[in-house]
Each structure stands twice: as structure tokens, then as C-alpha cells.
């Protein structure tokens, strides 16, 4: 009986130690949470802060990965508004101080007598239609500069849907009861997703055209707010390689370029810039998301555009 009690005690203490380690080392048990939205599809739940894999993540009351700010822009302040997907957001692999928006703010602030604010409205797998819905809901927050950051995959993004929130393990809407449960869940296959969500993910028709239409509408919102507007396109890693381009992506990029020219939208195709890097692979952490070096290079391009519009 005494031995059994000792073994039970050891098991409990071991479980507690594992739980503590998973929380302290990896941030398991406290993932960034998402909120379903019928128009936007989904966004990061407002007013949350966590630490994942050593990186701090803070989300303000507008579901932005930005500090809190006064919606009435203060005098002598330039406010830039970045909107995009996980490239802009940075997710768990990017500390709050190393996001594109924060690096840009630091660069601009170091050389400006004005106060510089850079807002960051973004979420994993957002496309132009999600971003348009966010801007239609919230407006531009009196920003003088609106920067839409998209990547090649975003040209094929599907219609916004809330169906994945709480069902896709990448979009949790509540904290797991234990860090150990989350760690195990990450190792298990994804549970079957709703048929309705799978149907949307297989959306037919002219997706590129619908996303280009959303970008045009975003331009209209920027013009109505008297904000300067930039679209910047980041490439996939394989697009920086000589054999990495695919015909349907080349065609979509050409359609985007033609629209930018026709609508006189400021546009940066970062492909040539990334290809000119000594080692493009160093700009990426995977096939699509940028490393800290990549974030620095992207923020530099936006920095130059901002200065050209002073």
C-alpha cells in the first residue's frame, strides 16, 4: 500500500512537472485564440497575450497584432496600416518585436521627428476578401497610409468563412484544459473538417478575379479616406528559383500587374528583390513565411515607398 502511494505520488509529480515544462518552454496550454465572424470569416480574438515557443504575442482590442492606440490620430503623427495574412502577422514563430509592422515602425521612427504608428491587422490564411471585410467593418482608423501585403497564394484565396474556427486545430476558439493535451493533439491527425468547409476550400469559378475585385474595392476605401495605398506582393520561396514558377501563378501575377497599372495603384512585386538576394532561402522560414531577415527586407521596401510619399 505504501509503495502504491509512493508510485502514485511520483506519477502525479511527474505529470505536474511535464505540464509546467510544456507551458514554460513552449507556451502549450495557452494558444492564440480565434473568433468566428460571418463577414470577415475569422480573426484573432481581441485583448489577448501569450508566449509561444519563446515569442511574445499580443493582440489589441481590434484583433490587431499591435499595441493599443487612440482611434483619433494624434497631431504630428503618421499612422501606417498594414493588413495581410500570416506573412504580416508572424504567428507563433515571430516575436512581437520582430514582426514586419514593428520593424517598420522602428526604422521610420529612428529617422522621423514625427510619432510613427504602424497598425497590423492580419490573420493566418486571410485573403483579399477577408481583408476587405475587415476594412469595411472598422475603416482605416485615420491612417494616412494603407499597405496591403499579399503573397502569390493569396491570389487564389477562397471566400471568407467562420466554419474552421474551433474545428481546425490551427484555429482554436478556447484554451485546452492542459498543456499536455494540446501537445498530444498537435501530434495527432486533424479531425475530419465539416463538409461545408471542404466545399468552400474547393471553391470553383474565377477566384483570382474575385480577389482582384476585392483589391479594387480596398483601393476605393483608401481613396475615400484620403490615404495613400500600396499593394506589395511577396513570392513563394520556390518562385525565387529558376524552375519554381507555375504557369497558373504566372498568369495570376500578370493579371494583378495589369490591374495595378490600370487602376494606377502603387505596386511592388518583391520577386525580383528577393531573387537578387545573395541567398533567398535565408529570407524564409518555410516555403511561404518570412524569416527575420525577410521581414527586414520587406519592411525596407515599405519604408522606401513611405519616404517617396512624403
Mean pLDDT of the chain: 96
Cα–Cα distance measured from residue 30 to residue 68, given in angstroms and rounded to the nearest whole number: 21
The yes-or-no verdict on residue 69 having pLDDT over 80 is: yes
Element (H, E) at 52: strand 48-52
Task: Specify if 84 maps to a domain.
Answer: yes
Cβ neighbours, 10 Å, residue 132? 24
Say what the pLDDT of residue 283 is.
98
Confidence of residue 245 (pLDDT cuts 50, 70, 90): confident
Q: Is residue 229 part of a domain?
A: yes
Asked if residue 217 has pLDDT above 80, the reply is: yes
User: Cα torsion at 64, 70, 71, 77 (round to 10°)?
Assistant: -100
Residue 167 lies inside a defined structural domain of this protein: no
Task: Measure Cα distances from 4 to 12, 15, 17, 24, 64 in Å.
Answer: 12, 16, 20, 30, 51
- Is residue 308 packed enough to be buried (19+ CB in 10 Å), middle (13-18) or exposed (0-12)? exposed
Distance CA 283, CA 295 (A): 8
Query: Can you give the CATH number for the domain in which 291 is found?
Result: 3.40.50.1110
User: Number of folded domains in the chain?
Assistant: 1
User: Which domain does 248 fall in, by range?
Assistant: 64-159+203-308
DSSP string, 173-198: SS--S-HHHHHHHHHSPPPPPPHHHH
Task: For residue 178, tell me if it sits in a domain.
Answer: no
Report if residue 196 sits inside a domain: no
Whether 4 is covered by a domain: the verdict is no
Return left, alpha or beta for 231; rule: phi > 0 is left, psi -120 to 50 is alpha, else beta. beta
Mean pLDDT value across residues 92-101: 98
Residue 81: CB atoms within 10 A of its CB come to 28
pTM of this structure:
0.96
Is residue 232 included in any domain, yes or no?
yes
Amino acid at each position: 500500500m505504501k509503495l502504491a502511494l509512493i508510485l502514485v505520488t511520483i506519477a502525479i509529480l511527474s505529470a505536474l512537472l511535464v505540464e509546467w515544462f510544456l507551458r514554460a518552454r513552449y507556451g502549450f496550454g495557452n494558444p492564440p485564440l480565434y473568433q468566428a465572424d460571418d463577414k470577415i470569416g475569422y480573426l484573432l480574438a481581441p485583448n489577448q497575450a501569450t508566449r509561444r515557443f519563446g515569442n511574445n504575442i499580443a493582440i489589441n482590442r481590434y484583433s490587431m497584432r499591435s499595441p493599443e492606440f487612440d482611434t483619433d490620430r494624434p497631431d504630428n503623427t503618421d499612422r501606417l496600416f498594414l493588413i495581410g495574412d500570416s506573412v504580416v502577422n508572424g504567428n507563433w514563430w515571430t516575436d512581437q518585436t520582430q514582426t514586419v509592422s514593428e520593424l517598420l515602425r522602428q526604422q521610420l521612427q529612428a529617422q522621423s521627428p514625427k510619432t510613427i504608428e504602424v497598425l497590423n491587422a492580419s490573420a493566418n490564411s486571410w485573403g483579399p476578401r477577408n481583408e476587405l471585410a475587415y476594412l469595411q467593418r472598422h475603416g482605416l482608423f485615420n491612417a494616412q497610409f494603407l499597405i496591403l501585403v499579399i503573397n502569390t497564394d493569396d491570389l487564389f484565396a477562397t471566400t471568407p468563412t467562420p466554419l474552421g474556427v474551433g474545428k481546425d486545430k490551427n484555429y482554436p476558439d478556447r484554451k485546452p484544459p492542459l498543456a499536455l493535451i494540446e501537445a498530444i493533439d498537435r501530434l495527432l491527425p486533424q479531425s475530419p473538417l465539416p463538409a461545408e468547409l471542404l466545399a468552400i476550400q474547393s471553391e470553383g469559378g474565377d477566384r483570382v478575379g474575385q480577389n482582384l475585385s476585392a483589391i479594387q474595392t480596398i483601393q476605393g476605401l483608401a481613396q475615400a479616406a484620403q490615404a495613400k495605398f500600396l499593394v506589395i506582393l511577396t513570392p513563394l520561396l520556390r518562385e525565387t528559383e529558376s524552375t519554381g514558377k507555375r504557369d497558373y501563378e504566372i498568369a495570376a501575377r500578370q493579371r494583378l500587374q495589369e490591374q495595378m497599372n490600370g487602376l494606377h495603384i502603387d505596386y511592388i512585386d518583391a520577386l525580383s528583390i528577393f531573387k537578387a538576394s545573395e541567398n533567398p532561402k535565408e529570407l524564409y522560414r518555410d516555403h511561404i513565411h518570412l524569416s527575420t531577415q525577410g521581414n527586414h527586407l520587406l519592411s525596407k521596401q515599405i519604408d522606401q515607398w513611405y519616404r517617396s510619399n512624403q
